Structure 1
Amino acid sequence: MQESVGERGVAARMGGDEFILIIRRSPSAQDIQELIRYIQDEFARYTARCGTLHVGISIGASYYPADGTDGQALINVADNAMFEMKRSQAHT
């Protein structure tokens, strides 16, 4: 995860299989969406080597200050976005 973020920010394990990425001074939401696609692609390449084991990834994003001005508010928005992604993937 940290390799995906590089010098733009920091990756940390929240617990279990949950991680948080803090990206400093991102120029745009489009840049974040490109980073999310990159992480998804890298994850897919990694899991393709797992054979028949199906492993998925869900990502939610939040933006300071539009989605909140404190850490917990930003985490809550990102969590909701992640669970929405999980729900939409379950229906495909």
Structure 2
Amino acid sequence: MNILVGDKYKITSDKLNITVNESYEKLNDEKEPTGEIDFKPIGHFGNLVQACNFLLDRDIKIGDAENLSELVKEIHAAKKRICESISNK
């Protein structure tokens, strides 16, 4: 499995785990940005549902919602992004 979730996350898998990876910009030897994007693992899960719940929870925690209405909008947007990424495979 190798599924992009938006342009910030990627879900990969092996025989034992589902891994959520986050994008980052690589740095050269002088610690300057190279413009090259790669992914690093940020969580390992036993199944896809747990991985998707992690992504949803992460988006909510780092979101900018200042009231319940904004929070609901953020939740719907995150769910839509995750579901579209999974269903496109």
TM-score clears 0.5:
no
Q: Larger RCO: Structure 1 or Structure 2 (Cα < 8 Å, ≥ 6 residues apart)? A: 2
Interval of TM-score (by shorter of Structure 1 and Structure 2): 0.3 to 0.5
Per the normalisation by structure 2, the TM-score is 0.37
The structure richer in helix per residue is 1
The structure richer in strand per residue is 2
Per the normalisation by structure 1, the TM-score is 0.36
